[in-house]
């Protein structure tokens, strides 16, 4: 017996058709038509204020499109999700997510006693419950502990397991956020401006972690305005400007000095080293 490719192919991670999104009385996303396959690696690039954050919030069901004829949003083939169930399939790493701001932004000096007591391993475990720490009422299973250890190992962060969150650097906290997003073994992972506030060493570690995840088979959506955040393995690039998708195509065609100069409204020069691009 044979099976057709159509019968076995997974549903696309995301399908948006004729999507417009408003904040208050202002439309901030215009006529978005976008399909991202499950397991695909994509970079979404644009200047601050171009609509990237609104697009992310629409993907994660924090914002909803204007209802109009022909409008459609499907995530893994479904028009509606219980958000707690969606998090098991789609991991999100963003400083703006509720419940994660304190973890991402607290410094050792500002961390409270709860944060100081919460270790990296505890925080990853708490990701099963979308909680900032392990509260006494939470029931932790052996499988959860196994998956938390697996998630830390996947990004070479096992050494952070017993370190208090309040004593971690910004880069170490970012790696804990990624591990939290991985505990459910999601099919797709979204990283929103992951290198913000990181020093050069932490940026390098983060970028190597992204490459590891890609090679391990995790689909990756990277949202950034930094060209040097984009791993060489990402071949599809989406350029956004003024709330619209300006271009969507191969990396080699879009990550060029002329295209990016037009996108950003300033002269951009591009260099390359070992597949990584950098701009000035």
Residue 161 confidence (pLDDT) above 50: yes
134-160 pLDDT tens trace: 888 889 999 999 999 999 999 999 999
Structure pTM?
0.86
Looking at residue 116, what is its pLDDT? Answer: 52
Interval 212-223 mean pLDDT? 94
Per cent of the chain over pLDDT 70 is 89
Smallest CA-to-CA distance from 134 within 185, 72, 191, 180 is with: 180
Per cent of the chain over pLDDT 90 is 71
Residue 97 confidence (pLDDT) above 60: no
Smallest CA-to-CA distance from 237 within 229, 140, 102, 184 is with: 229
Which residue ranges make up each domain of the chain?
A: 96-185
Give the mean pLDDT of the chain: 88
Residue 109 confidence (pLDDT) above 70: no
Give how far the C-alpha of residue 200 lies from the chain's centroid of Cα atoms, to the nearest Å: 20
CA distance 178 to 172: 10
26-81 pLDDT tens trace: 999 999 999 999 999 999 999 988 999 899 999 988 899 999 999 999 999 998 88
* 68: its two tokens: 């109009």
Looking at residue 130, what is its pLDDT? Answer: 82
CB 71 within 8 A of CB 18: yes
Looking at residue 82, what is its pLDDT? Answer: 82
Least confident of 39-48, 56-65, 83-92, 245-254: 83-92
CA distance 280 to 119: 39
Interval 79-86 mean pLDDT? 83
Strand partners, 36: 14
In CATH, the number for domain 96-185 is 3.40.50.300
* 82: its two tokens: 């219980």
Looking at residue 103, what is its pLDDT? Answer: 56
């Amino acid at each position: 017996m044979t099976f057709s490719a159509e019968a076995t192919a997974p549903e696309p991670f995301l399908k948006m058709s004729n999507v417009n999104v408003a904040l208050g009385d202002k439309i901030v996303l215009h006529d978005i038509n976008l399909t991202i396959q499950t397991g695909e690696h994509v970079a979404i690039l644009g200047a601050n204020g171009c609509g990237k954050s609104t697009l992310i919030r629409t993907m994660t069901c924090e914002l909803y499109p204007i209802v109009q004829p022909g409008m459609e949003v499907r995530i893994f083939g479904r028009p509606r999700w219980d958000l707690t169930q969606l998090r098991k399939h789609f991991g999100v790493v963003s400083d703006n997510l509720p419940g994660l701001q304190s973890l991402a932004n607290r410094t050792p000096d500002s961390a409270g006693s709860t944060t100081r007591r919460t270790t990296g391993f505890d925080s990853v475990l708490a990701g099963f419950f979308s909680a900032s720490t392990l509260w006494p009422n939470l029931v932790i299973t052996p499988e959860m502990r196994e998956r938390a250890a697996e998630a830390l190992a996947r990004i070479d962060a096992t050494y952070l397991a017993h370190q208090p969150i309040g004593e971690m650097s910004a880069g170490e906290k970012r790696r804990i956020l990624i591990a939290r997003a991985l505990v459910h073994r999601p099919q797709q992972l979204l990283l929103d401006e992951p290198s913000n506030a990181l020093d050069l060493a932490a940026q390098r570690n983060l970028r190597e972690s992204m490459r590891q995840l890609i090679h391990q088979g995790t689909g990756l959506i990277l949202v950034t305005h930094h060209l040097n955040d984009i791993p060489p393995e990402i071949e599809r690039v989406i350029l956004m400007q003024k709330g619209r998708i300006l271009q969507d195509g191969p990396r080699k065609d879009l990550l060029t000095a002329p295209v990016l100069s037009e996108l950003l409204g300033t002269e951009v020069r591009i260099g390359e080293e070992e597949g990584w691009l950098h701009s000035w």
